[in-house]
Amino acid sequence: MTLSALQGFKHCLAEHPSIVNFRWSITQTWGSTWFFIFSAIAIYIAASVTLHILLSLLLSRSRRVSLGPIPAIHSLTMALISAFIFIGILFSTAAEIRDTRWFWPRTRTTTAFQWLLCFPLGTRSTGRVFFWSYAFYLSRFLHLFRTFFTILQHRKLSFFTLFNQSILLFMSFLWLEFSQSFQVLAILLTTLLYSLVYGYRFWTAIGLPRAHFRFVVNLQVVLLGCNLLCHFGVLFLHFLKGGCNGMVAWGLNSVLNGVILLLFLRFYVKLHLIKRKASMVSEFEGSYSLHVHSASEIRSEKAS
């Protein structure tokens, strides 16, 4: 019974006709035009900046807007969606490898890992893995709501937040538009991380204890490191095999990823410097209070 249910679930995620016959095109998929993606990013930035300015004008800096359980519900929803996409693209990748392995010798592909890093030239955005890439692209719009939660709850809006969210949305569009190599691994890594990050955010939002280390930041560092290694792998296979599909988009993707990496590392180093400074201050205050306490004891002994 359990095995048949698992097989049925696997069939729905990898063998359903709407998944197998998926095709990325202007006429068949929502949000597949250049005008749409640029308009969506512009509206997101304008709405974020406008909301931040309006709150600054209408409310004091220390005033927060309570959102109740909405952020927790959003985190739980994103964790479940990310886990669902991860499982779906994992099953679909296995099915795609099974069905296309016979064609690999013509493209100098010898292993499944090579196929994950480097799509053969002429690959089109059709079939199973691109269906889940499209699902990931649509899920990126739900991630944008977190920017508005941050503005309302913490009254903060940074350039890094706007740039990071906009670029991630744009890159997921490029993956589909140019059938870019490496996207399957990127989606697997990213959705796995999001399921953990948003699950942790839901965990803390309902009042459960936090981790003793910066859970979200450290996971993001791991993801950026894995992406960097995979980008070098794509470049190596591109020259070794005579070409990988979607390399123009991959080049732009690499530059944008590099900018995000530099901005994040700058934030990460700054965070650790602040933490180190705070630790030094607390140690100094502790030693200073101990010294004052000892001096007072000496004075009291002399007086007696």
- pTM listed for this prediction: 0.83
Residue 210 lies in a domain: yes
Using alpha carbons, list the distances in angstroms from residue 231 to 107, 117, 182, 214, 216. 20, 8, 8, 26, 23
In order, the DSSP letters of the chain are -HHHHHHHHHHHHHT-HHHHT-B--TTTSTT-SHHHHHHHHHHHHHHHHHHHHHHHHHS-TT-----TTHHHHHHHHHHHHHHHHHHHHHHHHHHHHHHHGGGGGGGT--SHHHHHH-PPTT--SBSHHHHHHHHHHHHHHHHTHHHHHHHHHH----HHHHHHHHHHHHHHHHHHHTT-TTHHHHHHHHHHHHHHHHHHHHHHHTTPPPPSS-HHHHHHHHHHHHHHHHHHHHHHHHHHHT--TTHHHHHHHHHHHHHHHHHHHHHHHHHHHHHHHHHHHHHHHHHHHHHHHHHHHHHHHHH-
Average pLDDT estimate for 123-140: 93
Total structural domains within the chain: 1
Residue 276 lies in a domain: no
Q: In the prediction, which pLDDT does 278 show?
A: 57
Q: In the prediction, which pLDDT does 133 show?
A: 95
Domain that holds residue 90: 10-262
Q: Using one digit for the tens of pLDDT, what is the confidence trace for 4-32?
A: 777 787 878 888 889 999 999 988 899 99
Residue 265 has pLDDT above 80, yes or no: no
Residue 277 lies in a domain: no
Residue 294 has pLDDT above 50, yes or no: no
Residue 88 lies in a domain: yes
Residue 185 lies in a domain: yes
Residues 6+ apart with CB under 8 A from 41: 166, 169, 170
Residue 2 lies in a domain: no
Q: In the prediction, which pLDDT does 293 show?
A: 43
Name the residue with higher pLDDT: 218 or 248.
248
Residue 90 lies in a domain: yes
Residue 279 lies in a domain: no
Q: What confidence tier does 223 reach under pLDDT thresholds 50, 70, 90?
A: confident
Q: Using one digit for the tens of pLDDT, what is the confidence trace for 153-209?
A: 888 888 888 988 999 999 999 999 999 888 999 999 999 999 998 998 898 888 877
Q: What confidence tier does 97 reach under pLDDT thresholds 50, 70, 90?
A: confident
Residue 50 has pLDDT above 90, yes or no: yes
